[in-house]
Amino acid sequence: MKKKLLLIQPSPYDKNREPIKKPKLYFVGLAMPLLAALTPSDWEVEICIETIEDVPFETDATLVAISTMGHGVLRSIDLAHTFMEKGKKVILGGYMASIMAEEASKHCHSVVIGDAEDLWLDVLKDVEADTMQATYERKLTKLTTPLPRFDLILNKNIGDFLPVQAGRGCPKACSFCSVACLYQSSYYKRDMEEVIRDIKQVKDLGFKKFMLLDDNIFSDRAYLLDLLMAIKPLKMQWMSQCSIDIGEDLELLKVMKESGCMTLSFGLESISYESLKNMDKAWAKPWEYKRLINQIRDAGIDVSTEMVVGGDGDTLASIKATKSFIEDNKISVPRFYILTPIPGTKFFKQMQAEGRMINDNIYAFDGTKAEHIPLNMTPDELTSAYWDLYESLFTLKSIIKRNILRRDFIKAPFKFLFYVVVNLYYRNNIRNGITPNIF
């Protein structure tokens, strides 16, 4: 058999059920370059990032592996069926396929559940022998990966940084989180030498920046501190995500800045403590957010935020008040999501048990509307409040207030003007009913 593998990172659908397209993708994923690196050299490998290129439906690949992420899973399933109809062997993997494997298996020949590092060679051997199993699953004992095959994506229109992974999983256990569902509060960290090896590869490829991928880089302080000391001599700039409580650690923030950290992203979720408690996130204190954000900024690190609306403590008034919170804290590029009961998560099971699901068709979950009954409003009111919040924050007045009318603008005008461009792109998405989560 011809041994060729096509790896596809699908693009979510817009409201017209067309894949969202962009001329350039700044944040590229790591899963496909890693799978390519895990694939033996006698296999030919091609990577397709659908957001910025067309899917090669007439490929001569015998095996097609498709990623599933969030509401983009709808596109993943459609692609899987199309390729199966063309006689290709199709594998689904990623978060969504992993936490709802039984459902995913209806739409492909095989599902890779969880991490692929320790089983990918077995999958390929079974493909060659025509003995593919319905599912493959093997719990990680140690997180170790080869050098990603970035050579397969460098010819694409991507941003000026590449991803490098430090760890997977998170010790937190937020009820709505697919990471918590999959990793059950476990955190796997790679050997320091591997991480630095990967950063050096990014630098050797001509990049001056990297995205340090980690579900919560603050999961292990000692490990992070050692990693920062190893990154510092490389003189690279980087960004990552972690829990907001890192703002209490002034010593660590200082070392992070000295190592080249530019931006940290935080899942703040809500300004309602009642909502946070119901999300199993009571460790986060919204009354401390402003102080922590200021301390992170005082260390010279930019702050990016993600929040959800629709928690059990949220009201229409608190959702409106979120606008003031974002503007008062000068959040350059805020992102929001409607709290959605993702199948497999604790929140999904809770909503089912309480009879608060309004839609049993999980394939209708596209992130643009409420799929559960909130405590303090109707689902339609939640959906309207969500879009009203986005529209109110992405007016020209608000964009200028958050990015131009700030004391630190004069220190880095080009950076904040770039944020303005991002805001304008998101503003266009919002006008077209697209949740802004791709850039």
Q: Are residues 202 and 129 in the same domain?
A: no
Tokens of 14: 């817009």
Cβ-based neighbours of 110, under 8 Å, separated by 6 or more: 89, 90, 91, 92, 123, 132, 133, 134, 135, 136
Mean pLDDT of 408-428: 91
* Of residues 199 and 366, more confidently modeled: 199
DSSP string, 19-75: B---S-BSS--SHHHHHHHHS-TTSEEEEEETTTS---TT---SEEEEE--GGGHHH
Give pLDDT tens digits for 211-248: 998 888 888 999 999 999 999 999 999 999 999 999 99
Q: Of 271, 208, 262, 213, give the one whose Cα is nearest residue 242.
A: 213
* Of residues 19 and 185, more confidently modeled: 19
> How confident is the model at residue 439, as a pLDDT?
63
Identify the domain boundary among 79, 102, 137.
137
What is the pLDDT confidence band of residue 1, given thresholds at 50, 70 and 90? low
The identity of residue 257, as a single letter, is K
Q: Are residues 122 and 230 in the same domain?
A: no
The identity of residue 209, as a single letter, is K
Helices (H), 205-262: 221-231, 250-258
Whether 171 is in a domain gets the answer: no
Tokens of 349: 């099971």
Give pLDDT tens digits for 72-88: 788 999 999 999 999 99
Identify the domain boundary among 75, 108, 137.
137
Q: Are residues 128 and 273 in the same domain?
A: no
Give pLDDT tens digits for 99-123: 888 889 999 999 999 999 999 999 9
User: How many domains, in total, are found in the chain?
Assistant: 2
What DSSP character marks residue 13?
B
Give pLDDT tens digits for 317-360: 999 999 999 999 999 999 999 998 888 788 889 999 999 999 87
Whether 253 is in a domain gets the answer: yes
Mean pLDDT of 135-152: 93
Whether 399 contacts 406, CB under 8 Å: no
Q: Are residues 31 and 127 in the same domain?
A: yes
Query: Cα dist. 29→62, 95, 225 in Å?
Result: 23, 13, 25
Whether 11 is in a domain gets the answer: yes
> Which burial class, exposed, middle or buried, applies to 24 when counting CB atoms under 10 A from its CB (0-12, 13-18, 19+)?
exposed
Whether 345 contacts 353, CB under 8 Å: no
Whether 148 is in a domain gets the answer: no
The residues facing 265 across adjacent strands are: 241, 304
| Residue 71 confidence (pLDDT) above 80 | no
| Residue 130 confidence (pLDDT) above 90 | yes
| Residue 90 confidence (pLDDT) above 70 | yes
User: What is the spatial distance between Cα 333 and Cα 104, in angstroms, rounded to a whole number?
Assistant: 33
Whether 310 is in a domain gets the answer: yes
* Span between the terminal Cα atoms of the chain, in Å: 38
User: What is the spatial distance between Cα 188 and Cα 170, in angstroms, rounded to a whole number?
Assistant: 8
Q: Are residues 195 and 269 in the same domain?
A: yes
User: pTM for the complete prediction?
Assistant: 0.91
Whether 20 contacts 13, CB under 8 Å: yes
The domain of 388 spans 187-431
Q: What is the CATH number of the domain that holds 382?
A: 3.80.30.20
| Residue 180 confidence (pLDDT) above 80 | no
If you average pLDDT over every residue of the chain, what do you get?
92
Q: Are residues 132 and 207 in the same domain?
A: no
Q: Are residues 401 and 268 in the same domain?
A: yes
Residue with token string 């969500």: 386
Mean pLDDT of 2-19: 90
What is the pLDDT confidence band of residue 174, given thresholds at 50, 70 and 90? confident
Give pLDDT tens digits for 370-380: 999 999 999 99
Least confident of 170-184, 201-215, 282-296: 170-184
Q: Are residues 10 and 122 in the same domain?
A: yes
Whether 152 is in a domain gets the answer: no
Q: Are residues 202 and 315 in the same domain?
A: yes
| Residue 183 confidence (pLDDT) above 90 | no
> How confident is the model at residue 438, as a pLDDT?
61
Mean pLDDT of 147-176: 90
User: What is the spatial distance between Cα 219 and Cα 206, in angstroms, rounded to a whole number?
Assistant: 30
Q: Are residues 287 and 198 in the same domain?
A: yes
What is the pLDDT confidence band of residue 172, given thresholds at 50, 70 and 90? confident
Q: Are residues 399 and 329 in the same domain?
A: yes
Q: Are residues 121 and 233 in the same domain?
A: no
Whether 78 is in a domain gets the answer: yes
Identify the domain boundary among 77, 107, 137.
137
What is the pLDDT confidence band of residue 364, given thresholds at 50, 70 and 90? confident
Whether 342 is in a domain gets the answer: yes
Percent over 70 (pLDDT), the chain: 99
> How confident is the model at residue 19, as a pLDDT?
92
Handedness of CA 67, 70, 74, 77 (dihedral sign): positive
> How confident is the model at residue 170, as a pLDDT?
79
Percent over 90 (pLDDT), the chain: 73
User: What is the spatial distance between Cα 439 and Cα 26, in angstroms, rounded to a whole number?
Assistant: 6
